[in-house]
Structure 1
Amino acid sequence: MMDSVEAISKFSDFDIGLFKAGKHYRLYEKFGAHVLNYGDYKGTYFAVWAPNAAAVSVIGNFNSWNRYAHPLYVRWDESGIWEGFIPHVELGEIYKYAIETQEGVLIEKGDPFALQWETPPKTASLVQTTWHEWQDQAWMEKRREKNALNTPMAVYEMHLGSWIRDPDKPDEHLNYRQIADKLVPYILECGFTHVEFMPVMEYPYGPSWGYQITGFFAPSSRFGSPQDLMYLIEQLHLHDIGVIFDWVPSHFPGDSHGLYEFDGTHMYEHADPKKGYHPDWNSYIFNYGRHEVRSFLISNALFWLDRYHVDALRVDAVASMLYLDYSRKEGEWIPNELGGRENLEAVSFLKEFNETVYQEYPDIQTIAEESTAWPGVSSPTFAGGLGFGMKWMMGWMNDTLAYFSEDPIYRKYIHGKITFSTVYAFAENFMLPLSHDEVVHGKRSLLNKMPGDRWQQFANLRLLYLYMYTHPGTKLLFMGGEFGQSSEWNFDQSLDWHLMQYAEHMGLFELVKGLNFFYRSEPALYEISFRSDGFRWIEAGDADKSVLVYQRKGIRSKDDLVIVLNMTPVFHENFRVGMPAGGRWEVVFNSDEVDYSGSGVSSFSVNTEAISWMNQAVSAELKLPPLGGLVLKRKQVG
């Protein structure tokens, strides 16, 4: 009878060689808990990496948490892997690893490769499976074109726990399936192309918003099972909506059941706190130079692309990975081998990560949240870049919010803030982010950043959104921004959906809907968005009037658009604008429409005149609305 752990291995010698070399990218197929049949018995195979442990065993309800009942066996090949098979342990069992350190101290750890964990504050792992009969093959076959750099990408960023809640149960989360049933029709109505979820991986501390992860291979049990999350993703895919996950390879918390000092030593993190401790987040930095850690992280990225059909990974806090002195004072960091501040091991890791995921899944995207001027973040690695598909345009975000937060009467003095972004707009494949980070911690909501009375606040925000959607780059808007959430984001409560009953908020919502569908329907706004030949200033220097005029160009000239933005509340009855070509031009979008709770001031169409203006051979006079913007397109003849 087989009634104790027996050494059965899922590892071949080839697997071990790849793992030691840091080149095994599917570790989730080997490590963790795997239910299988062995002879006449059904049970679970366990494997864990603990190279400095004196002993490892599996404990759980099935053995009354007795550390001596089911010991694991260390492999002979010095890989540091402990493994074994326990009969009769099936799906749903909770377990931990009991690890005896070399000093004789007993610690209990969750499984780094667990597919599910108990719901916090409980900390045990669950024997689970990622089996799911996917129905999204049609999406998977065409997602390459949906993720391509020459297609529109309008991203709705959201936090699962605070997007919407049952008004009768405001203290309870909706689960993945309930969210799916509400989110899919909402995104379809709004017109966003993708949804970005703030981290769904298991995390112990709610106020971290998911960015302090202990279960890298498990969706948070707060919202349901792995299959429940798969249902959410599948429903989005069935309706042609892409899914982006926030991925956090930059740090992890020091919770006793997590990765920190996993076998009593610094396995996943650097031993020296000058390299291994993150002062900003009271967390620990991965040792990117350790081969097994690189395999762990890259396997984790591939896991979500493989098992959960995720379409893109937005990589959090890349700047904190790239610089050894990030948020550190002199004497608090160790220079690299060349004497510099760059984290060469992290640079190498990020390049390998991007090369690997694009090789395995060429139809996905990786997006870097990188807040410095590191060169070539979205350039290919063969050209010396980091290899990301896109990069958040943090400079644009900071300058834009600073400009729009200023009273319009003073905007002429900071005119350069609103034009400077085009100096570097084509250095990277940029995504324009108005994310969760801009509406928390005393920063105010987007609406309340806007100056002026209530009408002007909404007009300013409508104008900001039109500027965003007509500026080169893909788009990202955090939940609540689409209807003008008036309070700061609170991770522990629902958005203020009741605001939708008010005309101004509903008008803003209609504007965002209109912009999403307009953006998706106008090739000039996305076809060559990352190239300088897709944009041209017509008037960038009119600081006194605070008016911007620019052209967005498509592959075909008939798709070209002219954008005119009036950044002050002054109505211009006859404002002359230089036009790139003669003929009749129609206003195809107006942020001041009555349907958007605007004043309704606009020209509907204009004919050009042979009057040279703004360095253009022809021009036209427009009715330019206060704190409003117009988009014009040349009417085609015939």
Structure 2
Amino acid sequence: MGKTKTVKPYEIGELDHYLFGQGNHYEIYKKLGAHRVKNGKKEGIYFAVWAPHAEEVSVVGDFNNWDESANVMERGEPLGIYTCFIPDVPEYALYKYCIKTYKGEYIYKADPFANYAELRPGTASRIIDISDISWSDQAWMEQRKAWKHTEQPMSIYEVHIGSWKKHPDDEDGFYNYREFAREITKYVKDMGYTHIEIMGIAEHPFDGSWGYQVTGYFAPTSRYGTPQDFAWMVNYLHKNKIGVILDWVPAHFPRDAHGLADFDGTPTYEYADPRKGEHPDWGTKIFDYGKNEVQNFLIANALFWIEDFHVDGLRVDAVASMLYLDYGKRDGEWVPNKYGGNKNLEAIGFFKHLNSVVLGRNPGALMIAEESTAWPKVTGSVEDDGLGFSLKWNMGWMHDFTEYMKLDPYFRKGAHNLMTFAMSYAYSEKYILVLSHDEVVHLKCSMINKMPGLGFDKYANLKVGYAFMMGHAGKKLLFMGQEFAQLREWSEKRELDWFLLEEPEHQYIQNWMRDLLHLYKRNKAMYEQDDTWEGFEWVNADDGDRSIYSFIRHSKGNKKNLLFVCNFTPMARDDYRVGVPRRKQYKLILNSDDKKYGGTGEERPQIYKAKKGECDGRPYSFAYKLPPYGVAVFEF
């Protein structure tokens, strides 16, 4: 038998080839890419790239005058991983891989494993050493291990860094990661959110894709600074007890010449058959989940963000497009699976593998599915044939809620069930209720402009809608700007219309949302039994004629419960009576008629005593003067 070649710790060896070929090399990003190493007495960069069908690969960069012949790489078998060591390459140097294809053509590709990229419109990768990033969020990371999302508050502020606020002194108007961290922390703490979810952070060439068409999966976008700046932001947010969730896009990638598409001159990362490998509607390529190396690339990438950059969760974009082979396709544009069905069996296997590994290695981290269909057991355990996600976006609730809220109050009585239906399936998955960026773009109107009526009615509708959402079972997510009733649809090209807060109506909505968020965080009844029937109880779900909903949120052991009453019409109900389960005192803790929310400020008693007398099928009740679009929350 031949002797096994000894390899230096940073080099790609037989074991690396084997594990990557099996799809189990979860830290492959520490080997592939460009890493600063010591080779004997020389310091330099060890480059490694997977290009199985390439005839030849070389590293070109500003350190070798982009000369294809200067640094030719050595091919490693059996997978076709090319490597080379180049001494004295400076930090931030630009580079690409020059790949000679099987057709004899030369193509230039950015490094799929690069940690930093040239600012667009440039497309090269940059050398950077991220091994020296220091962290001081140990307390947060330790607590995270024991954190149970089902029993903890989660109110997420979805934010796009480039347009939350524009920087007056930057050519593009971008705050860098550190500046953004300080600003967003102040705002999020004041408002009472528990997490931020950041849109499109991995490197992408086109601002208008919002980061959903990725060319650099292992690189925080250079628009807002370096990977060190990005890490500083996460660390800073953690030290201020704010969780960080990133959008993550394993569904598809763009065709840009420098990206993953036809990486070595053949479909390397994507399915070869265009009926499986292309999204006709999006003009993008679909990852080949049947290839172990591609699954490995994506799973390692998820681990990279969660383990190396301390990110608390990934919201996985466009899950439905991965699960269904015919998603967004007409007859003849897709290929059935081996059983003749439309399920992508390889993508299903990928999700089970992904979630088992990521959550198994990182207790307390989150994997969140943006899945828009009724696919069963998205948050079910892998052992029970589920996909293994922690949480799922409740797109059904979002659709019913927005359809109901758009209605003129006169017609709401005919659609009363739109607001109650979600509770019939609320415990089939672990849900997040979402009003995301997708609901306020592409001529869908901002949240305030979805509301019927004019003036007072619009703002009053939004207030009662937000109260219903915050009281309903499930975690919460709201897109930036909607918390102060942004009038215009969102655009990545401009900052939010913060000047609106000079107007009292917008200040009222912000005050209301702030108090709802703090009420949510303060009261265990609103979150600790989100995934069980014991946590939510309708008092009256059938008051369609008056379009009033009343329900109770229960804490564990019923120590402190909350009663919500929401009136979705402009009719005042001076004689409103609500049924209650006990002969107790009910304390009014939130009243939408308060002056700071734009109400009349009418004086009201704080304590209401329940009296014997059946109402809403309960043995006791009390009367409350319910104003137009009134919301009242009582503690008992």
TM-score by length of 2: 0.97
- Within 5 Å, give how 1:234-249 maps onto structure 2: 234-249=235-250
Write out aligned runs for 1:563-602 (5 A): 563-600=564-601
Number of residues paired by the alignment? 628
For residue 631 of structure 1, what is the amino acid of its counterpart? V
Q: Secondary structure at the match of 2:575?
A: strand
Q: What does residue 115 of structure 1 align with?
A: 115
In structure 1, how many angstroms separate the alpha carbons of the residues matched to 2:383 and 2:592?
43
- The match for 2:4 is none
Q: Give distance in 2, aligned partners of 1:295 and 1:137.
A: 28
1:623 partnered with 2:625: yes
| SS in structure 2 of the partner of residue 507 of structure 1 | helix
Residues 539-589 of structure 1, C-alpha deviation per residue, up to 9 Å, x if partnerless? 111111001111111112131221111010111112011101112111112
Q: How do residues 155-554 of structure 1 correspond to structure 2 at under 5 angstroms? A: 155-167=156-168, 171-554=172-555
Deviation of the 1:606 alpha carbon: 1.2
Is this contact kept in 1: 2:74–2:82, CA < 8 A? Answer: yes
1:556 partner SS = helix
CA distance in 2 between counterparts of 1:421 and 1:491 reads 32
In the alignment, what sits opposite 2:61?
A: 60
Letter matched to residue 335 of structure 2 = I
Contact 1:7 1:85 in 2 (8 A): no
User: 1: distance between equivalents of 2:272 and 2:506?
Assistant: 52
Q: Which deviates more, 126-135 or 295-304? A: 126-135
Q: Does 1:85 align with 2:100?
A: no
Distance 2:310 2:169 in 1: 34
The 2-side partners of 1:409 and 1:145 are apart by: 49
Equivalent-residue separation in structure 1 for 2:56 and 2:9 (angstroms): 17
CA distance in 1, matches of 2:560, 2:395: 29
Where 2:86 maps in the other structure, the secondary structure is: strand
Equivalent residue letter for 2:86? I
* Matches of 1:58 and 1:385, distance apart in 2: 43
SS at match of 2:613: coil
Paired position in structure 1 for 2:73: 72
Distance in 2 between the 1:372 and 1:398 partners? Answer: 12
Asked if 1:128 corresponds to 2:128, the answer is yes
How many angstroms does 1:167 deviate by? Answer: 4.7
CA displacement at 1:146 relative to structure 2: 5.0
Q: Whole-Å Cα distance in 1 between the matches of residues 34 and 46 of structure 2?
A: 6
Encode CA deviations 1:331-381: one digit per residue, 9 max, x unaligned: 211110111110000000011000000111112011100000000001111
Quick one: structure 1 residues 169 and 61, their matched pair in 2 at CA, closer, same or farther if it must change by over 3 Å? Answer: closer
Choose from 614, 621, 635 the match for 1:633: 635
Question: Structure 1 residues 603 and 448 mapped into 2: Cα distance closer, same or farther (>3 Å)?
Answer: farther
* Aligned mates of 1:170, 1:545 — CA distance in 2: 54
Alpha carbons 2:93, 2:127 under 8 Å: kept: yes
Q: Whole-Å Cα distance in 1 between the matches of residues 418 and 234 of structure 2?
A: 39
- Letter of the 1:127 counterpart: I
Shift of 1:272: 0.9
- What code does the residue aligned with 2:82 have? W
CA distance in 1 between counterparts of 2:606 and 2:325 reads 56
Aligned partners of 2:146 and 2:363 also within 8 Å: no
Judge which range, 399-408 or 592-601, deviates more. Answer: 592-601
How far is 1:147 from its partner? 5.3
Give the stretch that moved more between structures: 603-612 or 286-295. 603-612
Q: TM-score, normalised by structure 1?
A: 0.97
Q: What is the alpha-carbon distance in structure 2 between the residues aligned to residue 476 and residue 623 of structure 1?
A: 31
Question: What's the secondary structure of 1:235's corresponding residue?
Answer: helix
Q: Shift in Å at residue 171 of structure 1?
A: 4.6
Amino acid at match of 2:59: V
**Partner SS for 2:354:** helix
Note closer, same or farther for the CA distance 1:133–1:7 as it changes in structure 2 (3 Å cut).
closer
Q: Deviations over 1:199-239 (max 9, x none)?
A: 10000011100000000000111111001111111110110
Is the 8 Å Cα contact of residues 234 and 309 (structure 2) preserved in structure 1? yes
Q: Percent identity?
A: 46
Give secondary structure in 2 for the equivalent of 1:626.
Answer: coil
Post-superposition CA distance 1:25-78 (Å, at most 9, x none): 111110000011111211100000000000000001111111000000001x31
SS of residue paired to 2:543:
coil
Task: Please give the secondary structure, in 2, of the residue aligned with 1:28.
Answer: helix
Whether contact under 8 Å (2:464, 2:631) holds in the other structure is: yes
SS in 2 for 1:499: helix
CA displacement, residues 14-33 of structure 1 (integer Å, 9 cap, x when unaligned): 22211111111111110000
User: Does structure 2 retain, via aligned residues, the 8 Å contact 1:317–1:370?
Assistant: yes
In the alignment, which residue of structure 2 is the partner of 1:3? none
Q: Counterpart of 1:627 in structure 2: which amino acid?
A: Y
Given the superposition, is the C-alpha separation of residues 547 and 307 from structure 1 closer, same or farther in structure 2, using an over 3 Å criterion?
same
> In terms of mean alpha carbon deviation, does 228-237 or 367-376 score higher?
228-237
Match of 2:609 in 1: 607
Contact 1:8 1:84 in 2 (8 A): no
